[in-house]
Structure 1
Amino acid sequence: MRVALNLVYLVPGETGGMEVYARELIPRLAALPGLELVCLVNREAAADGDAPWGNAVPLEVVPVHARNRVEWVRGEQQHVPRIAAAASADLIHSLASTAPLRSAMKRITTIHDLNYKLVPDAHFGLRALGMRVLVPASARRSDRILVDAESTKRDLGSLLGTPLGKIDVAPLGVTPSPPVTPTPEAELRARLELGEGEVLLTVSAKRPHKNLLRLLEAVALLESKPTVVLPGYPTPHEAELRERAAALGVRAVFPAWVSAEDLEGLYALATAFVFPSLAEGFGLPVLEAMARGVPVACSDRSSLPEVAGDAAILFDPFDPRAIADALRRIPGEAERLREAGRAQAARFTWERCAELTHAAYVRTLAA
């Protein structure tokens, strides 16, 4: 079986969870017997010399710059089918929710979420328009669909009318801690101006559907006043978050980017990890915090109850008082949450994700 992996979307360092998905899944797929892979990458990704495409798996360059959304779509719709055919692929697997709409070969698409419908402000500009047009069309035209969670499978059935028998669930895995030395706590506290008190960590894009405004409102209700650390690349929404934190008197720190060493140091010093998102296709940050033994409180919406199980304190993300109540419970349940979180995270592996993905390939070609 020869599979062309459509990675035309992937700009290294700028694609978030879908980049993690590709980087972790590809080497596990490459290790499976009887499966040959070729990665179809844009010009930005082709220049990354430390990636599984081009190292673990051969690559073919799609002649577009994917930072330009129009070029991304053109590359996916025009060039990917042509290059996959020239590579003698049996199947095209598109990893980022959209796919070529016309091709003579079989197609399987991973649709990570339907946030463009569930939380329309999750995407901006041309990307928002593209998702509204291309995700439903890709769901119709693909021979099979892969999703990360049962909740997305249900959403596809109810919102797009996708036959449930066409959909396979392949939960993601936990990304191992990188082999780095965490930045010492004293250094992080001084450099990021965290003070000496408790620290709440949340790792997510600064976008409205991540619900960080309500998190700040919840922290303002607490008797203790922890520092909230919100790392992530800047977005237009960040200015609103900063203004709201100042108005509420909440101490919040917004590092734009943190190194692997700094992130591991933040996990180590954090009192808790909080994830108030309104909609998630999976919620990898929850599992990554659990794997590191950080007590977790998270939203009770979309896929997050599936991912967290009973290893997190769940809350209604629309209610700042409910978020605050969950945060108040953490000190008394911290040891249980640490133990349960590590056990829950251990259930999710990239090897299992690869096996389920391969099984979906077999179903696609057999149909």
Structure 2
Amino acid sequence: MNIGFDAKRAYHNGTGLGFFSRVLIKLMAAHYPQHNYYLFNPKPGTLFQPETTNIREILPTQSLHKLLSSAWRSKWVTKDLQKLKIDLYHGPSQEIPRGIPQTGIASVVTIHDLFPELYPQDFKPIDVKIYRTKLRYACNYANKIMAISEETKGHIVEKYGTDPARIDVAYQSCDPIFNVIEGVDKKEVIREKYGLPQQFFLHVGTIIERKNLLNICKALKLVQEEIELPLVVVGKGSDYKEKVKQYLIDNQLEEKVIFLSDQLAARGKKPFIATEDFPGLYQLSTAMIYPSFYEGFGMPIIEAMSGGVPVITSTTSCMPEIAGDAAFLANPERPEEMAEGFRKFYGDASYRNAAIAKGLQNAERFSPGKYVQSVMNIYNSAL
């Protein structure tokens, strides 16, 4: 079978959708080597380096298509799909090309979340309009919709009236590097490289209101007399980050929160974490806290658990669905509940060890083999 992918994110996005696309493509090509995988990339990029011979990058060749590469990706690419005899096309980032139903080529679209629908105030009006147009088209015309959680599936049905029978849930798998328990020496190299303290709590995610960093900081204030551990924050931010920083200043908590990108920049280093260092970074932490108000999936939960790191997360959205009974669940509106999670993982070794064991077991639900099997089942049902 010839399988095509919208590969813009794989080649050009260094964060969420890029990680998702790269992991998906690599796992499918490795587990199902009998198929050919065509990556339709609107312009050259360097973030993805395929490692198997059954993956082929396709770039626009006509001058007009190169000049208007976004139009090629969103519509004109259908001619290339037909020319290459693509049997199935997968849009892994919430959209499919216009006109693909007329080609007779089966299509699958992955829907990760409905953030602009649920939180339109957090986006520019033009971005919300573009998002809705692309997503509605994909939900109306894709042969199959792949939702990354039951939570996301429910929102698609609620917001767009899509027939639930057209939507299958396929839980993601994290990059296999997170399943490796790093040795002491490797972790110490990472600690020194990024200037990390001996013990710390960890928060991973873009610094925006939905990720709830301010309430994490309020929880830290509640335990500041009991627990000396700082919080290491990995992620970028702007206005909301400044709001959090002002809270820290007002409450004399500046030394309790380390914004890792800022610290690296201050040391004259590149302000980001190398992908291969993330597992060790997680595993150096006492616990990872991720109390978002809403997520489509919550990948850091699985990344942490896969490496034996206990997790504090939310009672809301998809977090209980993904974390199962392996995490400490806290109401994201209540810093006092997060503070209790800090106390449990810092002061109760037996509780922490039990959570680690449960987390490793829970992570098996999201193994690469189970993931690619569920995706291939969706592909076959779309044909």
- The TM-score by the shorter chain falls in which range? 0.7 to 0.9
* SS, match of residue 326 in structure 2: coil
Equivalents in 1 of 2:147, 2:295: separation in Å? 12
Residue 249 of structure 1 pairs with residue 252 of structure 2: yes
* Structure 1: unaligned runs, 5 residues or longer: 65-69
- 2:80 maps to which residue? 83
Counterpart check, 1:284 vs 2:299: yes
Q: Which residue of 1 aligns with 2:314?
A: 299
Q: Which string of whole-angstrom CA distances, capped at 9 and with x for unpartnered residues, describes residues 1-39 of structure 1?
A: 322111234444x34222222222213322326533211
CA shift for structure 1 position 93: 0.9
Equivalent residue letter for 2:106? K
One-letter identity of the residue aligned with 1:79:
W
Match of 1:67 in 2: none
For 2:129 and 2:87, the matched residues in 1 are separated by 30
Shift of 1:364: 1.2
Contact 2:4–2:90 (Cα < 8 Å) also in 1: yes
Cα RMSD after superposing both structures = 2.8
Contact 2:202 2:233 in 1 (8 A): yes
- Unaligned regions of 5+ residues in structure 2, if any? 262-271
Output the CA distance in 1 between the equivalents of 2:331 and 2:378. 34
Aligned to 2:331: 316
Counterpart AA for 2:360: R
What does 1:14-163 align with in structure 2 at a 5 Å threshold? Answer: 14-30=13-29, 31-32=31-32, 35-45=35-45, 47-48=46-47, 50-51=49-50, 56-62=54-60, 73-103=70-100, 104=102, 105-120=105-120, 123=123, 127-163=127-163
**Residues 4 and 91 in structure 1, CA contact (< 8 A), matched pair in contact too:** yes
Out of 138-147 and 251-260, give the one that drifted further.
251-260
CA contact (8 A) 2:306 2:359 kept: yes
User: 1:130 is aligned with what amino acid?
Assistant: I
Relative to structure 1, the CA distance from residue 207 to residue 261 in structure 2 (aligned partners, 3 Å threshold; closer, same or farther) is: same
Do the aligned residues in 2 keep the contact of 1:218 with 1:323 (CA within 8 Å)?
A: yes
Q: 2:172 matched to 1:172? A: yes
SS across alignment from 2:260: coil
Corresponding residue SS for 1:132: helix
Alpha-carbon separation, structure 2, partners of 1:85 and 1:235: 44
* 1:229 is aligned to 2:226: no
* Distance in 1 separating the partners of 2:55 and 2:149: 27
Distance, in Å, in 2 between the alignment partners of 1:190 and 1:34 is 44
CA contact under 8 A between 1:8 and 1:72: conserved in structure 2? no
| Amino acid in structure 2 at the alignment position of 1:362 | N
The DSSP-based 3-state class of the residue aligned with 2:151 is: helix
The structural deviation recorded for 1:99 is 1.7
CA distance in 2: counterparts of 1:125 and 1:350, whole angstroms? 38
Distance 1:275 1:72, change over 3 A: farther
Which residue of structure 1 aligns with residue 243 of structure 2? Answer: 240
Aligned length: 356
The separation in 2 between residues aligned to 1:49 and 1:174, in whole angstroms, is 16
SS in 1 for 2:109: strand
Describe the superposition over 1:96-138 as per-residue Cα deviations: whole angstroms up to 9, x where unpaired.
0122232223221000111222233565575444223221222
Change (3 A) 1:171 1:189: closer
> Contact 1:294 / 1:338 at 8 angstroms: preserved in 2?
yes
Is the CA contact 2:279–2:303 (under 8 Å) kept in the aligned structure 1?
no
Gap change, CA 1:220 and 1:49, over 3 Å in 2: closer
Identity among equivalent positions (%) equals 24
> Would the aligned equivalents of 2:177 and 2:276 in 1 still touch at CA under 8 Å?
no
> TM-score w.r.t. structure 1 length?
0.86
In the alignment, is the contact (CA less than 8 A) between 2:10 and 2:19 conserved in 1? no
Cα 1:284–1:122 shift into 2, 3 Å = farther
TM-score, normalized by length of structure 2? Answer: 0.83
